[in-house]
Structure formats: structure tokens, C-alpha cells
Amino acid sequence: MDFKQLASTILANVGGKENVDKVVHCATRLRFTLKDESKAQTDVLKKTQGVLSVINAGGQYQVVIGPDVPAVYQEVVALGGFESAAAVEDPKAAKEDTRSPLSRVLEFVASLFQPIIPAITGAGLLKAFMALFVTLGWLDNTTQTYTILNAFADSAFYFLPILLGASAAKNFKCNQYVAMALGGILVYPAFITLMSGEEAVSLFGLPVTQASYSSSVVPILLGVWFMSVVEHFVQKISPQAIKFFSVPLASILVAGTVTVIVLGPIGTWIGDLIAAFFSWLTATAGWLVPTLVGIFNPLLVMTGTHYGLIPIGTNNLATTGFDTVVGPGMLTSNVAQGAAGLAVALRTRNKTTKQLAASAGLTGVLGITEPVLYGVNLKFIYPLIAAMVGGGVGGLYLGITGVGRYASGSPGLLVLPAYIGGDGMGNFFNACIGTVIAMVVSFVVCFVLYSVWDKQGKLDPSETEGN
């Protein structure tokens, strides 16, 4: 595929670079914030080779590309010069935000985590496979090789405050590198040693609550927010001649002090409270959340709001080392969507649809569902219904058996080793059983619904064409 040509076509049909306020990308989509959405040629884009679908939701104009989106995004940025233009904002050009408060919150949370997802996904998968290899006896966890590989797998999570600091700084419009330094304070070795000791800790005579901030989520987000307030204030009052050093000095000293004394403990308390709530929910109705996520995750993906769940799972892993809320339901949902696509590939008489459904279905069971969701399931509807049923049934089994993940990763067959941990292999075996249930139920329901749709004349004409 010619990514440069595709990027040029997309840019032209969203109204040109002059119509773009901002563009980011996630695992499979270009996400545009447009000045005037009426200028976008949606019908043209939907028919463009290389574009799976176009969605206008949550205040964003989303062009679904698939796994090649990072390459297309780089070309879009290069053609539009958006990195340099991003720092220039015209308040008069800003349009009224008509999104609901919930949509705005979810979109904001998603924007914080989207940039770091590749890092935590890669690290999580490595951690999962290491657990599998140790269990199979292929890797000795007492060797130097294991220690070094464990550093590869743990670094993204241990230094999560630094990664989130950089991401949050973009959203709060403050200096990224100072924000990363603020995150570095929380994981600085001597600071960690001091905070984990038995002796009371104080700063400028003020008591400091002793807490662990490695792998934490909420404290750095609060800290960078406060840092942005300090930075913008000092920018206004500081003489031009000394801004170069006065602004970062104030940001580090003031924001660091407030974060360590006030915001860090508050963030830790919030994170623990969130984890406690979901622990209570799991103990009270453990079957509920994985079932609901398994059913409705395709709809969340369609609107991009599934990213709003990721911080919950990340926080659970950081605070308890075990996530029963996000991972299991997304796992069954994804493999169910892939299985539905494979069922379509088996039943359809259209060669083009058969090839697309087979390749997209395989991608789906491995954890990337947008190609099968937009290219097959949503287009024909009955596979989407089958996927929601299969995801829900599989999620119900995982909920009843209390299955959870010990590491993160794109939910699919490849991430099953992330369910190895704790005492014995029961959790892993139940995760495998739930995955099989989701795939089998989805495949069978899709297979049956094809016949029902066919008898009632509801099949898309493209499915019944011979070529």
C-alpha cells in the first residue's frame, strides 16, 4: 500500500490541512478534530482503498485504517505539518463542544493513555510469555537472562509515572520534559528507599505520607495538572529575560513539593479506592462486569470509549497485581468477534468477502478487532450479534470462575499467558476455557444466523454474489 498517497487522499477529504485542529491515532484509527465537519467527504473516504470505515463520534472524526495506521499517521503529519501547527491555537476558531460530559471525560482519559499503549502492550506480552516459558521449564527464573528480560518487561510499568507524565503534559499543555522529570521524582531510587523506610519523612518540616509510586497512575496525573497551573502562572509573571530557567525551576520545585506532600497521597488514596470498589464488585457479583464488557465492548470500540476502561485495568494491575474487570471481558469479546468473522468466511459465497473475513477474523482472535468489526461484522449485522452473544457467554464463565490477568496486552489469543500467576494453573486453564467458549458460541450463532438471514432474504447482496 502507498501510505503517502492514502494519507494525501484522507487529508484532502477531511477538508484539507486547514480544516484540521488536531490529529492523533490509536491502534487502528486516525482521530481528527475538525474545525468544520461538514467539509469532510465521508462517502468518498468510505470508498477509498485502505480505509475500513469512517466514524463521527465523541467529538472526533475517526478514519479506521487497521494495523497500518501508524505508517499512515506519520505521512498525514508530514503532509499537514501538524506537529508545528499544534502549538498554535486560535480561540476564535474553536467551535462549541456539544459532547456530553461523560463523552468528554472518556475522551480525555483515552487521550492520556493512547500514546503509551504500545509500550505497555509490548511489555505486558513479554511478561506474559516469560511466565509461560518459566511454567514450561524453558526459562530459569534464577538466571541472569531472566533478570535482564524481566527488566525489559517491567520497565514500562515501573516507570509508568514518567510515561504518563509525558502524555499528560500534552493534554495539559505544559512542558513534556519537565513533566517527565516530575514523574522521575516518584520513582527515584533514593526517594523510594526513603518512602519505604520505618523512619517518618518530612519536607521543609511538613510531614510526607509514605507511599509507593512506582507503577502508579493517579498521582502523576494530578501532579502534572498542578504543574501546568504553576507553569502557566510563572510564564505570565516572570520577566522575559529569566523565563528560560525561572519557569522550569518553579515547576519542579513547587509542583514537586505539592505532589509529594498533597497530591501524591491523594492520588494513591483514589487509586486504592477504585481498586477496592472493583474488588468489592468482584466479590459481590463477579460475573457481572466481564459479562457486560464481553457483550458491549464492540459498541464501545465503535465509539472509541473502550479506551476509557484501560485506566481501570492499569490501576488494578498497579495496586493489586490482578485485573478481573477489563482484561477478561475484552478477551472474550475480541476472540468472539474474530470467530464470527471466520464463520462468515466459511459461509459466504463472495470470494472478496471470504478473503477479507478470513484475514480480519484471524486478526480479531489475535486481539485487533477493528478490521473484522468494520469490514465484516458491522457491515452484515448478524456476525455482530453473534460476537456479542459469544463475548457475553465467555465473559460470564470468566466472571463466575473469577478469572483475572496478571499482565496487560492486546486482548486475544496471544495474551493468554498473561493469565498465568498466583497459585497453580487454574486461572490460566479457566481463561483458556472461557476463550474457547466465546469462540465456539460466536461461531455457531453466526453460522446459524447466516441461514436465518438467508431464508428471510436479509443477507447483504455482496454475500451471495459468486465473485
Order of strands across the sheet that contains 29-34: 20-25, 29-34, 60-64, 53-57
User: By three-state DSSP, how is residue 203 classified?
Assistant: strand
Distance CA 276, CA 274 (A): 5
**No. of H helices and E strands in the chain?**
23, 6
Residue that has been written with the C-alpha cell 531472566 in this structure: 146
Would you list the DSSP string of 36-55? Answer: -GGG--HHHHHTSTT--EEE
Residue 266 one-letter amino acid: I
Residue 104 in grid coordinates: 468528554
Is 26 one of the catalytic residues? Answer: yes
Is residue 356 within 8 A of residue 344, CB to CB? The reply is no
Q: Is 383 left (phi over 0), alpha (psi -120 to 50) or beta?
A: alpha
Distance CA 117, CA 121 (A): 6
Residue 424: what are its φ and ψ, rounded to 5°? 80, -170
Distance CA 159, CA 170 (A): 18
CA-based nearest residue to 450, from 332, 336, 358, 345 = 345
Distance CA 359, CA 29 (A): 18
From the list 26, 174, 432, 446, the catalytic residue is 26
Would you list the DSSP string of 275-330? Answer: HHHHHHHHHHHTTHHHHHHHHHHHHHHHHTGGGGTHHHHHHHHHHTS-BSSSHHHH
Distance CA 368, CA 384 (A): 15
Residue 309 one-letter amino acid: L
Partnered with residue 374 across adjacent β-strands are none
DSSP, res 18: G
Q: What letters, b where the CB count within 10 A reaches 16 and e where it falls short, cover 300-329?
A: bbbbbbbbbbbbbbbbbbbbeebbbbbbbb
- Whole-angstrom CA distances from 432 to 283, 335, 415 are 22, 11, 11
What is Dmax (Cα atoms) for the chain?
80
Is residue 253 within 8 A of residue 291, CB to CB? The reply is no
Catalytically active residues are 26
